[in-house]
Amino acid sequence: MRICATCGVEFSEPLPEVCPICADERQWVPADGQRWTTSADLAAAGQQLVVAEREPGRAEIRTKPTVGIGQTSQLVTTAQGSLLWDPPGYVDDETAARILDRGPVLAVAASHPHMFGVQTAWGDALDAPVLVCASDAEWIGRRTERIAVWEDDVDLAPGLSLHRIGGHFAGSAVAHWADDSTGRGLLLSGDTVFPNPDRASLGFLRSYPNKIPLSAAVVQAIADRLATLDFDRIIGNFGNPIDRDAKAVLAYSAARHIAWVRGDHDDETGIATSG
């Protein structure tokens, strides 16, 4: 197994000449070309995983130093077992043991291909299935018996489920933890919708690094699909939060995005338009 040094996603050999996830318009290949690494190389260089307890039943896991995109993974634990969401690009025995101390792992799953990380290595370490949305199965770089595809919705445990939303990728998904520690509902969104630095709005993009927008119709469809779920908080793929009133934030942010791409605010840009 090799790991793309840029996105942190695992691949089987023979390796592609260039990581297809990075070659896609939503990501990027470094100016000095494709680079690969291995778990052994990372370990030899002193790679670490940092686990932080954030609230009852939820911990965050990140790589130190950053591996690939450097997502902050979410570990949600219920009475039935745990979900490892947006797995990192590195796994070690110590962290796997800490996770298993909480009980069985129901699944390893990612919001979209940029967040696949070393998902099957995590599946092996945790003796858990790796769930990949069927709409994004073409992006799998390492196929093993751990992988199981799912379609539009899957229930992992009472109050814990996955939902395909689309947009950023065809299979972009969220994890919905209805029974979170606040009792208000939590959405783990990856960057299906992205909690912005102002902590009061969300972004909707096809490519975040390359700033490719989504259309008004797609953003409305995303908002409509998410509106069917009950939640008051959102956490993105870097631990970036919307701490309250997340449904209102979603509606406001979608309306704002749609208004801008529709041209409602062109008079604010200093550029004359003919309407």
Is residue 275, in this structure, part of any structural domain at all? no
> What mean pLDDT do residues 122-135 have?
98
d(CA 109, CA 87): 7
pLDDT above 70: residue 275: no
Tens of pLDDT, residues 166-184:
999 999 999 999 989 999 9
State pTM to two decimals: 0.97
* pLDDT of amino acid 119: 98
d(CA 111, CA 226): 14
Is residue 81, in this structure, part of any structural domain at all? yes
Is residue 222, in this structure, part of any structural domain at all? yes
pLDDT above 70: residue 125: yes
Mean pLDDT of the chain: 97
- Strands 105-109 and 130-133 come out as parallel
Is residue 80, in this structure, part of any structural domain at all? yes
> What mean pLDDT do residues 223-227 have?
98
pLDDT above 70: residue 25: yes
pLDDT > 90 fraction of the chain, expressed in percent and rounded: 98
How many domains does the chain divide into? 1
pLDDT above 80: residue 267: yes
3-state secondary structure of 264: coil
Return the beta strands (E) in the chain as ranges: 2-4, 10-11, 36-37, 48-55, 58-64, 73-77, 82-85, 105-109, 130-133, 147-150, 153-157, 160-164, 173-177, 186-190, 194-195, 202-203, 205-207, 212-213, 233-236, 241-242
> What mean pLDDT do residues 21-44 have?
98
d(CA 34, CA 220): 37
CB atoms under 10 Å from CB of 150, counted, come to 20
Number of residues written out for the chain = 275
Is residue 273, in this structure, part of any structural domain at all? no
* pLDDT of amino acid 80: 97
Domain residues for the domain of 220 are: 2-268
User: DSSP label at 139?
Assistant: G
Is residue 224, in this structure, part of any structural domain at all? yes
- Cα–Cα nearest to 84, from 188, 1, 213: 188
Phi, psi of 104 (to 5 degrees): -65, 155
d(CA 44, CA 30): 23
pLDDT band at 273 (very low <50, low <70, confident <90, very high): confident
CATH number at residue 257: 3.60.15.10
pLDDT band at 272 (very low <50, low <70, confident <90, very high): confident
Quick one: tokens of 12?
Answer: 């089987």
> What mean pLDDT do residues 212-223 have?
98
